[in-house]
Amino acid sequence: MRIVFIFMIFSYSLMAENLIFKPDGKYKILSNLHLVNDIEYKKDNNYQALIEIPAGVREKWEVNHKSGHLEWEFQDKKPRKVKFLGYPGNYGFIPQTILEKKDGGDGDPLDIIVLDASVKKGTIQKIRVLGAIKLLDSGEQDDKIIAISINGAFSKINTLSQMMIEFPGSIEIIRYWFEGYKGNKMQFMGYMKRDKAESLVEKAHKSWSNHQNVH
């Protein structure tokens, strides 16, 4: 009975938009919806983020883009943990997006970090885009959207510059974390303003739509 009770709490706590999760062993969480294709990228005029790694966590979970399920990434035949401080925000991606290599991506959904209190992996957060941090990962462009939860502590913040003024050090924490978590492989290349970051989201959504029409 105790095991069933724990499972019921787990399932209930991760339900959103008819989204239900079910553990499949220790390293995989099945979902009834495809977490890239079946979750809206925008709802009620707000962008949405699907969280893979909660703030403060080192375990490297990610969505399998083919199956749409959450999986713990393996490296050297072991479940991967970031060898650094835990993530400084809720990390994931914007559903229904594909950032092409020609646009600075890797053909995967658009990465995002949401500045907010830690939430459970698999949570859908309604977010406001503030801008983006421009990075090179081993010489390849690897930009990350920076956003806030519309219901979180920073709900009145609209831009990166406003965040830097009203909460000094907050954006710099994100920069230094990404610069440090892979040793010297990551290089900071500056920030992207909100309007350009939102244009990037729309471009990535259009690219996803084009892929759906082809397939």
- Whether residue 1 lies inside any domain: the answer is no
Digitized pLDDT (tens) for each residue of the chain, 215 residues in all: 444 433 333 443 344 568 999 999 999 999 999 999 999 999 999 999 999 999 999 999 999 999 999 999 999 999 999 999 999 999 999 999 998 877 777 789 999 999 999 999 999 999 999 999 999 998 888 999 999 999 999 999 999 999 999 999 999 999 999 999 998 899 999 999 999 999 999 999 999 999 887 65
**How big is the chain, counted in residues?**
215
- Whether residue 29 lies inside any domain: the answer is no
List, in order, residues 6 or more apart from 127 with CB less than 8 Å away. 46, 47, 48, 49, 112, 114, 147, 148, 149, 150
- Whether residue 95 lies inside any domain: the answer is yes
pLDDT, tens digit, for every residue of 175-187? 999 999 998 899 9
Q: What burial class does residue 65 get, using C-beta atoms within 10 Å of its C-beta: 0-12 exposed, 13-18 middle, 19+ buried?
A: middle
- Whether residue 10 lies inside any domain: the answer is no
- Whether residue 111 lies inside any domain: the answer is yes
CA angle 129, 133, 36 (to 5 degrees): 55
- Whether residue 52 lies inside any domain: the answer is yes
* Residue in the block written with tokens 């925008």: 42
- Whether residue 2 lies inside any domain: the answer is no
CATH of the domain at 198: 3.90.80.10
- Whether residue 42 lies inside any domain: the answer is yes
Domain limits at 123? 34-214
List, in order, residues 6 or more apart from 131 with CB less than 8 Å away. 145, 146, 159, 160, 191, 192, 193, 194, 196, 197
The number of domains in the chain is: 1
SS3 assignment for 172-194: HHHHHHHHHCCCCCEEEEEEECH
